[in-house]
Amino acid sequence: PLVNMTSMLAHADYHGYGVGAFNTLSIEAVRGAIRAAEELRSPIILQLAQVQLDIAPLNYMAPVMLQAAQNATVPVVVHFDHGEDMDHIKQALDLGFSSVMYDGASYPMLENMHLSKIAVDLAHTYDATCEAELGRVGGSEDGSKDLAMLLTDVQEVKTFIAGTGVDALAIAIGNAHGAYKESPNIQFQRLREINRMTEVPLVLHGGSGISEEDFRKSVKGGIQKINVATALQQDIVAEVHKLCHGSFKKPSYSKMYTVIEEAVFRAVKRHITLFMSDGKA
Ligand code: 13P
Ligand code: ZN
Ligand code: NA
Domain assignment present for 93: yes
Contact (CB, 8 A) for 155 and 185 = no
Domain-embedded: residue 14: yes
Is residue 230, in this structure, part of any structural domain at all? yes
pLDDT tens figures, 230-253? 999 999 999 999 999 987 788 999
Residue 280 lies in a domain: no
Q: Do the domain assignments include residue 168?
A: yes
Compute how many other C-beta atoms are within 10 angstroms of the C-beta atom of residue 28: 20
Q: pLDDT (tens digit, 0 to 9) for every residue of the chain, 281 residues total?
A: 999 999 999 999 999 999 999 999 999 999 999 999 999 999 999 999 999 999 999 999 999 999 999 999 999 999 999 999 999 999 999 999 999 999 999 999 999 999 999 999 999 999 999 999 999 999 876 666 667 789 999 999 999 999 999 999 999 999 999 988 888 999 999 999 999 999 999 999 999 999 999 999 999 999 999 999 999 999 999 999 999 998 778 899 999 999 999 999 999 999 999 999 999 99
Q: Tell me what pLDDT residue 139 has.
A: 86
Q: What is the CATH number of the domain that holds 173?
A: 3.20.20.70
Strands in 186-253 per DSSP E: 202-204, 223-228
Which atom of ligand 1 has the smallest separation from the CA of 49? 10
Tell me the β-bridge partners of 99. 79, 129
Q: Does residue 81 have an active-site annotation?
A: yes
Residue in 81, 167, 214, 235 annotated catalytic: 81
Within the chain, strands assigned E span 19-23, 44-49, 76-83, 99-102, 129-134, 168-171, 202-204, 223-228
pTM score, whole prediction: 0.97
26 is annotated as contributing to ligand binding: no
AA identity, residue 68: A
Known binder of ligand: residue 85?
no
Q: Domains in the chain: how many in total?
A: 1
User: How far away, in angstroms, is 182 Cα from ligand 3 center?
Assistant: 11
Q: Collapsing DSSP states into helix, strand and coil, what is residue 22?
A: strand
In a domain, 281, yes or no: no
Mapped onto helix, strand or coil, the DSSP state of residue 197 is helix
Q: Which domain holds residue 185?
A: 5-275
